[in-house]
């Protein structure tokens, strides 16, 4: 094969460096036992053609610049089928799956092969008849790109000839008049300056407190993780949204914050008021719906393949005594904080800062800056939009879909994706430090507290 090369994007260089290496684990839960006889043909005919990066390794050229270099792909090197004792209970296989996830999560990609793997867990768990796991390095693309690629391999289970549809996303209007914009200018300037300065401090010298959800240890990204997942009805979330005048992000962020604080309080009462920050991942594309992969990789594509994201620092509200009886405060506080962040150009300024840092000191310095940004916060939160309809892969109906991020120097990563009317929340936590299942139970409890309080709030409103 000829040596076809393309430059690695700046963000791709940051995410695969000596200072930082992030990967994604994407899980597809099959309704039926997995038949892997079609694996090779599907990878060769469907997966590899999606993007040349799936057939490339990252190399450094004679000028010291990182490039994607096309290579021959030995598919057998990328497919893993673990063997465990047969005839055990689903609960036992849950434990085996958790241990296996920890194992592959700590394994680095071989530099001599393209940066992806597939793991086929062919044992029944309490949630699936088998689990297909995609491990993809984050330098290949962001969650939006990789989700688009994954969806291009799948079909609607009810009718493969029909296109997938997604929950509607409220877009910003472009019809705002100048008279409406002018009063907000001073607010935007003030919020931008304060938010940007705080963000720089959080990325350099200002660390979150050490708490039951943040060990703050060096090298935490190299430790094993424990996974726990939970599902929330989108109908219930929409009901809370309507009752409170909030957004989906406000509701789920409020539940995560309240649940985390309740978990922290049980472990250490003082930590319920500790300085804790969530780093929320933002998709910076203008358009929020998935294009086809063919459209995404065109030179002038609107969404563009690659990494298009930014971080948003969101301080977790403290757990005051009153918060336990008024859980809606966490939704309102999340809404207030996020609205202030939205009314700011700090994300844009941070992007410019990274460009200047790259120009002056190189991509490794930027990677170190991003590493410190992650390390100084308590958790990462990222979310994606998934399809409304049930998916199918090679005639295997997919009953569940979730993902997590590996390699972040944080004790907790929370990843959220919608699928078939449910919001699936996955908690990836530092093993032997955080009890992922207990944290899950507190987040579920927090959501029920918020749902109950939101419904009572509506019932208590005076009728006209």
pLDDT (tens place) for every residue of the chain, 464 residues total: 445 678 998 888 999 999 999 999 999 999 999 999 999 999 999 999 988 899 999 998 887 789 999 999 999 999 999 999 999 999 999 999 999 999 999 999 999 999 999 999 999 999 999 999 999 999 998 777 788 788 888 999 999 988 888 776 544 344 444 344 445 566 667 677 777 787 888 888 899 999 999 999 999 999 999 999 999 999 999 999 999 998 888 899 999 999 999 999 999 988 888 999 998 876 544 444 444 444 544 444 444 444 445 677 888 988 875 445 688 989 998 888 877 777 777 777 887 888 899 899 998 999 999 999 999 999 999 988 888 999 999 999 999 999 999 999 999 999 999 999 999 999 999 999 999 999 999 999 999 999 999 988 665 554 44
Range of the domain at 427: 178-388+401-460
pTM of the model: 0.87
CA distance 87 to 96: 13
Specify if 90 maps to a domain.
yes
Indicate the number of domains in the chain. 2
Contact 259, 445 (CB under 8 A): yes
Q: Are residues 146 and 210 in the same domain?
A: no
Question: Cα–Cα distances in Å, from 327 out to 85, 259, 428?
Answer: 45, 10, 24
Same-domain check for residues 111 and 246? no
Nearest alpha carbon to residue 334 among 389, 252, 233, 436? 252
- H/E element holding 225? strand 225-233
Interstrand relation of 56-60 and 225-233 (parallel, antiparallel or unpaired): unpaired
Looking at residue 33, the DSSP 8-state letter turns out to be -
Closest by CA to 252, choosing from 326, 323, 335, is 335
396 located within any domain: no
Question: 268 and 142 in one domain?
Answer: no
CA angle (7, 12, 13) in 5-degree steps: 80
Q: Shortest CA distance to 382 belongs to which of 425, 318, 434, 442? A: 425
Distance CA 344, CA 13 (A): 27
Helices (H), 218-362: 234-244, 248-267, 293-296, 328-342, 346-361
In this structure, are 113 and 215 located in the same domain? no
Tell me, yes or no, whether 61 lies in a domain. yes
- Residue 96 counted as domain residue: yes
C-alpha distances (whole Å) from 414 to each of 64, 229, 238, 378, 424 are: 35, 10, 21, 11, 10
Residues 265 and 382 in one domain: yes
């Amino acid at each position: 094969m000829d040596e076809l090369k393309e430059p690695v994007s700046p963000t791709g260089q940051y995410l695969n460096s000596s200072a930082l290496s992030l990967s994604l684990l994407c899980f597809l839960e099959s309704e039926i036992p997995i038949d892997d006889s079609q694996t090779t043909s599907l990878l060769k005919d469907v997966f590899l053609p999606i993007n040349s990066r799936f057939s490339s390794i990252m190399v450094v050229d004679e000028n010291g610049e990182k490039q994607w270099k096309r290579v021959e792909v030995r598919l057998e090197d990328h497919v893993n089928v673990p063997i465990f004792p047969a005839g055990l209970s689903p609960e036992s296989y849950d434990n085996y799956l958790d241990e296996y996830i920890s194992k592959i999560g700590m394994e680095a990609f071989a530099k001599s092969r393209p940066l992806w793997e597939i793991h086929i867990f062919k044992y029944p768990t309490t949630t699936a008849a088998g689990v297909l796991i995609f491990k993809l390095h984050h330098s290949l693309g962001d969650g939006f790109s990789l989700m688009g690629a994954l969806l291009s391999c799948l079909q609607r289970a009810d009718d493969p000839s029909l296109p997938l549809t997604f929950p509607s996303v409220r877009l910003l209007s472009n019809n705002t008049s100048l008279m409406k914009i002018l009063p907000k200018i001073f607010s935007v300037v003030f919020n931008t300056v304060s938010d940007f300065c705080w963000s720089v401090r959080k990325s350099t010298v200002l660390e979150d407190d050490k708490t039951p959800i943040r060990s703050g240890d060096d090298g935490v990204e190299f430790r094993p993780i424990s996974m726990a997942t939970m599902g929330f009805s989108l109908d219930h979330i929409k009901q809370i949204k309507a009752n409170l005048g909030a957004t989906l992000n406000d509701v789920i962020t409020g539940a995560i914050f309240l649940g985390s604080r309740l978990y922290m309080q049980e472990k250490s009462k003082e930590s319920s008021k500790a300085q804790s920050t969530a780093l929320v991942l933002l998709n910076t594309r203008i358009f929020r719906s998935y294009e086809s992969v063919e459209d995404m990789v065109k030179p002038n594509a609107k969404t563009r393949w690659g990494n298009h994201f930014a971080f948003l620092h969101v301080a977790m509200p403290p757990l005051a005594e009153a918060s336990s009886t008024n859980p809606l405060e966490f939704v309102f506080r999340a809404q207030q904080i996020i609205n202030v962040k939205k009314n700011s150009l700090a994300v844009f300024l941070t992007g410019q800062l990274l460009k200047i840092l790259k120009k002056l000191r190189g991509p490794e310095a930027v990677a170190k800056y991003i590493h410190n940004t992650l390390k100084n916060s308590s958790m990462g939160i990222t979310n994606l939009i998934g399809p409304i309809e049930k998916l199918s892969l090679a005639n295997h109906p997919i009953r569940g879909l979730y993902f997590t991020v590996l390699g972040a120097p944080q004790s907790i990563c929370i990843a959220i994706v919608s699928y078939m009317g449910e919001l699936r929340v996955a908690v990836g936590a530092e093993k032997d430090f955080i009890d992922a299942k207990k944290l899950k139970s507190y987040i579920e409890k927090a959501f029920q507290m918020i749902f109950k309080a939101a419904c009572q709030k509506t019932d208590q409103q005076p009728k006209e």
